[in-house]
Each structure stands twice: as C-alpha cells, then as structure tokens.
C-alpha cells in the first residue's frame, strides 16, 4: 500500500477519534448481524493505521488488534470499493503462510466491505471470517455492503458529534471568559426582583425574540412567561425552585421562546440569585440570554439521524429474522405463527405494535392484538390462489412529525415482509405438491408391480425407444425367457422375422399418436 494512502488514512482516522476507543453497542450490533446474515463465526469492524489494524468491534474473536503485516484488510482496501472475498485462504499464495491462517483463528474464508469516508478514503473494513470454506450469495453480499454503509453512518455521526462537542466546549470557554464583560455591558441581560416581579431587560434581550423594548412595555416577569414556550415553563420553574431553596447556585436552562414571527428560537438562559432578603428569601436574580438556535438544530438533527439509523437496523433485523424461518421441516402454519410474533419487533413503537396474518381462511395473530384504526396492510396471492395479507396495528395512536402514524420505511418493510413470506409459502406449497406427486407415482408403481406379479398374461413396459424396462413373470411361461433377460433389450430382438414388416407399420402408427393396437 502506498505511503500516501496510509498517511491519508491515518489523517482521516484522526478526525473520527475512534482508535483505541471502548466497545459500543451500535457497532457490536452490526458485526453480530453481519455474522448472522453471512453465516460466519466471526465479524469485525477493522480500522487500519500504519502499524496495526484496530478492531472497533470484534464479534466471535477475543482480540482487539493485530499487526498490519498479518492483515487481510489491507488487501481489501487495495481492491477498491467493492467486496474483497477469499473463499479458501489456504489455497491463496498471499495468505497461505499468514499466522492468522496457520494459527488461531485459522482463517479460511474472508469477505470484507471497505469503509470509505465521504472524501473517498478507505479507512478499514466490515468483514466476516470463518475457519471453513464459505461463499456469499448476492443477497448476503448486498447486506454486507449495506451494513458497511451503516458503519460509516455511525462514524460520520461520531465525527459530527465531535465537531458539535468541540464547538460546545469552545462556546462554554468563551462564555466563562466573557461572563464579566457581558454583565458589565449588559448584553442580552435580565434583572429580576423576585419579590415584586419587576423585570429589567436590555435591547438585545428583546431583539432575540424579534421585538424592541418599546414593543414589550410594560415589562415584568409575566413578559417572560408570555414568551417562553409552554412546554419549557415546568423545567424553568423546577430550576428556579432549586435556586431559591439554595440547592443549586446557578440557573442554567436551554429553552424555547416564541419569536414575534411565530417560530421558536432556542436560548441558553443563565443566571443566579445575587441578593437575598434578611429572612433568607431570594431578592434579586440576574442573568443573560444567549441564542443557541443553530447548535440546538444540529443536536436535534443528530438525535433524529441516530434514531432513524437505529430504526433501520431494527427493521433489517426483523426482515432477516423472518427470512431465517425458512428451515427444513417447517410447516406453513408454523411459519406464519412464528412470523406474526416477530413482525411487531420491526416497528417504531414496539410496545404498542401487534400483527395479524391471514392466509385464505386461516388466521394468525400476535399476543394482545386487536383491530384498531391505526393499521397498515400488505397483500400477496400465493401459488395456491389464496390471499396472504399482513396487517400491523398500533394499540394506541402515535403521530410522526410528518403527521403520519407509520414511517415511510415501515410501509416498505411490511411490503418486503409480505413478499418474503409469500415466497416462502410458495416454496413450501410447491414442496408439498411435489411430495404428494411422488407418493401418487410410487403408489401407481406398486399397483403396476402387483398387477404384473399376479397376471397370467405377458405384460411389459418399454421406453420411447422400444427398450424393455420391465417384464412380468408370465413371459417365462409364454416365451421361455426369464423376465430379467428382457430388461435393456429392444423389443425387435424377440419378433419373428416374418412379422418384422407388420411391426414396422405399427411402430410408425404409434409415432403418429396411436395409443392401442392389435397384432
């Protein structure tokens, strides 16, 4: 690997601050899912510097890093943006002497999907490993690519969060350093007489919410309560009570205020009680307002992105669990009953979700399920002509920010589940039909054999080329041959030469569709 590639990779890794960090459940759930989907015993998230490969997550392997000289993943990074797959490392000259092949964990199979930053730099892999030969079908390969993408989304979330935290720390430092200046210059300041309710604010305080001081007059503590978001009043009162009871020194609240134009702006409202009455009651409280709308917007977007990612992982796990039900020996009834218990786990509000599956007149229902107004369905027709319908319901109403009860991804999930179950049901139905056909054929064979064994007439079975396949015991009595002497020989071997021409005419008629004839 080129030195410049390693340098770029190390520089990129530094922006994530991920090397030598502790295990995290979000990454561990991905390696566990990758191993499950690819049917391997080991799955790793590897990150490579210039000397080693660090395992951010190591499912099935109790090792945190290995020397880069032993790394399969360096080859995966060289391979480009697609999967790097080794079906049997023992037969690959690049790895046949690798200590990880000749010794523990005795790697035989390896498949790695590169982790590529938005800047196009490969920093590691999501890989699956086994000590026996293996291969991945197209679905498993696509799943491995998708999970690698999810790893990068988590890393990008981490980098964004670090960026936000750095800004937050910098802001806090500047806030402390400029505290005295803010108080001296009265920039976005407030002074509240707790006993009388009078409130003194400056122009900046009013400007944050789109007003002038004249717009807000007369000004009192009620001015604050009219402008603060109703949902944040309770949090403000809790902190004020703690300050008044001397359980905390500083009042520090991130809350929303209603702008003159009707939208919410976020402020960091900070202050403390500076004077007390002789009997120990709060008298004067002073503080500042700092607008933090941009930072809060980023934080809320990060939280929303992380929540969405967790939902996608949960949905994928649900669909994978459904697909894994297709096991030898399972019946359609068992399949659908097990599926109906799994399905609610893929929905946003698991505790409120329930499912129903109908297949023709057969009904399968998860625990505590009942029809509600908050339902979604997907329908397919199985090969036996019966309708297969999956319905997911919420026992209580939950509305998403876009006004819908179910997420768009949940609409896609229920369709995917319906398709998957329909395919499995069709496979099981076809298998059952094949079994029945074989049983009928076997029964017919036994009946034919019984007839041939009991008949006094000569009965023979020939293939389309006129070769004897079976002959009844009566042939020995009639022609003097044992039945086994007929098997594998053409019928013309047993025709008298004078009758050969007649037989030729009959054969020609049979080839034209004649089903019975007499000689």
Counted domains in the chain? 4
Q: What is the pTM of this model?
A: 0.38
Mark whether 486 and 363 lie in a shared domain.
no
Indicate if 263 and 143 belong to the same structural domain: no
Domain boundary among 120, 139, 172: 172
Task: Give φ, ψ of 233 to 5 degrees.
Answer: -60, -45
8-state DSSP, 259: -
Q: Comparing C-alpha atoms, which of 101, 100, 125 is closest to residue 115?
A: 125
Contact 252, 268 (CB under 8 A): yes
Residues 24 and 121 in one domain: yes
Please state, in angstroms and as integers, the Cα–Cα distance from residue 157 to each residue in 150, 152, 386, following that order: 10, 8, 46
Boundary of a domain, candidates 430, 465, 500:
430
Q: How far apart are CA 90 and CA 488, in angstroms?
A: 48
DSSP β-bridge partners for residue 441: none
Same domain, 340 and 239: no
In a domain, 199, yes or no: yes
Same domain, 142 and 277: no
Residue at 471 is within a domain? yes
Name the residue with higher pLDDT: 507 or 193.
Answer: 193
CATH code, 188: 3.30.450.20
Tell me how far the alpha carbon of residue 32 is from its chain's centroid.
12
Element holding 48 (H helix, E strand): strand 42-48
Same domain, 343 and 364: yes
Does residue 101 or residue 475 have the better pLDDT?
Answer: 101
Q: Residue 298: inside a domain, yes or no?
A: no
Same domain, 350 and 273: no
Helix (H, G, I), strand (E, B) or coil at 303: helix
pLDDT value of position 482 = 86
Task: Kindly state whether residue 336 falls inside one of the protein's structural domains.
Answer: yes
Residues 362 and 218 in one domain: no
Same domain? For 276 and 345 the reply is: no
Report helix angle 138-177 to 25-38, nearest 10. Answer: 180
Candidate ranges 272-276, 287-291, 294-298; pick with highest mean pLDDT: 272-276
344-370 tens-digit pLDDT:
888 888 788 888 989 989 999 887 788
| pLDDT band at residue 212 under the 50/70/90 scheme | very high
What's the average model confidence in pLDDT over 119-148? 93
Going 174 to 178 to 182 to 185, the CA torsion angle's sign is: negative
The verdict on 239 and 361 lying in the same domain is no
Q: Coil, strand, or helix at residue 313?
A: helix
Q: Is the pLDDT confidence value at 183 over 60?
A: no
| 409/329 same-domain check | yes
Asked if residue 282 has pLDDT above 90, the reply is yes
How much is the pLDDT for 185? 57
User: Does the pLDDT value for residue 495 go beyond 90?
Assistant: no
**The tokens 């403390």 sit on which residue?**
272
Rg (C-alpha) for the chain, rounded Å, is 38
Does the residue 405 lie in any domain?
yes
Average pLDDT over residues 498-505: 74
| Final residue belonging to a domain, choices 152, 172, 192 | 172
In a domain, 301, yes or no: no
| Lowest pLDDT segment from 206-215, 367-376, 502-511 | 502-511
Rounded to the nearest angstrom, the gap between the alpha carbon of residue 452 and the centroid of all alpha carbons in its chain is 61
Residue 18 shares a structural domain with residue 165: yes
> Sorting pLDDT into bands at 50, 70 and 90, what band is 3?
low
Q: Which domain holds residue 475?
A: 455-511
């Amino acid at each position: 690997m080129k030195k410049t590639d390693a340098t770029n990779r190390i520089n990129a890794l530094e922006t994530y601050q991920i090397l030598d960090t502790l295990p995290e459940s979000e990454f561990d759930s991905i390696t566990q899912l990758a191993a499950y989907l690819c049917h391997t015993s080991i799955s790793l998230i590897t990150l490579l510097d210039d000397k080693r490969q660090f395992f951010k997550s190591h499912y099935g392997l109790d090792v945190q890093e290995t020397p880069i000289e032993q790394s399969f993943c360096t080859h995966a990074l060289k391979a480009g943006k697609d999967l790097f797959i080794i079906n049997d490392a023992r037969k690959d000259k690049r790895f046949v002497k690798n200590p990880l092949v000749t010794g523990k964990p005795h790697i035989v199979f390896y498949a790695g999907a590169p982790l590529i930053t938005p800047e196009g730099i490969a920093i590691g892999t999501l890989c699956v490993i086994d000590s026996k030969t293996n291969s991945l079908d197209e679905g498993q390969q696509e799943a491995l690519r998708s999970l690698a993408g999810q790893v990068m989304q988590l890393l990008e979330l981490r980098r964004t969060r670090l960026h936000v935290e750095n800004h937050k720390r910098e802001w806090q430092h500047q806030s402390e350093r400029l505290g005295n200046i803010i108080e001296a210059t009265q920039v976005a300041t407030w002074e509240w007489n707790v006993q009388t309710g009078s409130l003194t604010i400056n122009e900046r305080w009013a400007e944050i919410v789109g007003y002038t001081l004249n717009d807000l007059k007369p000004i009192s503590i009620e001015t604050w309560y009219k402008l603060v978001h109703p949902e944040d009043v309770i949090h403000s009162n809790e902190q004020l009570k703690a300050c008044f009871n001397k359980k905390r020194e500083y009042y520090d609240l991130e809350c929303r205020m209603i702008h003159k134009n009707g939208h919410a702006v976020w402020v960091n409202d900070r202050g403390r009680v500076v004077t007390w009455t002789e009997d120990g009651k709060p008298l004067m409280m002073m503080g500042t307002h700092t607008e933090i709308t941009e930072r809060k917007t980023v934080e809320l977007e990060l939280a929303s992105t992380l929540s969405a990612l967790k939902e996608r992982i949960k949905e994928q796990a649900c669909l994978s669990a459904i697909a894994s039900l297709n096991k030898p020996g399972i019946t359609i009834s068992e399949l659908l009953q097990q599926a109906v218990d799994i399905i609610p786990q893929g929905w946003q509000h698991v505790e409120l979700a329930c499912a129903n599956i109908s297949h023709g007149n057969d009904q399968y229902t998860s625990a505590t399920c009942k029809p509600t107004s908050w339902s979604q369905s997907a329908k397919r027709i199985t090969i036996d002509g019966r309708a297969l319908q999956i319905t997911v319901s919420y026992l209580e109403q939950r509305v998403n920010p876009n006004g819908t009860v179910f997420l768009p991804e949940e609409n896609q999930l229920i369709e995917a589940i319906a398709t998957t179950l329909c395919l499995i049901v069709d496979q099981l139905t076809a298998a059952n039909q094949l079994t029945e056909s074989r049983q009928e054929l076997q029964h017919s064979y036994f009946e034919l054999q019984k007839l041939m064994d009991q008949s006094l007439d000569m009965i023979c079975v020939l293939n389309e080329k006129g070769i004897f396949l079976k002959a009844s015991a009566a042939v020995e009595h009639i022609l003097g041959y044992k039945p086994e002497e007929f098997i594998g020989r053409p019928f013309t071997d047993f025709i008298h030469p004078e009758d050969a021409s007649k037989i030729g005419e009959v054969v020609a008629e049979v080839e034209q569709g004649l089903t019975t004839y007499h000689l």
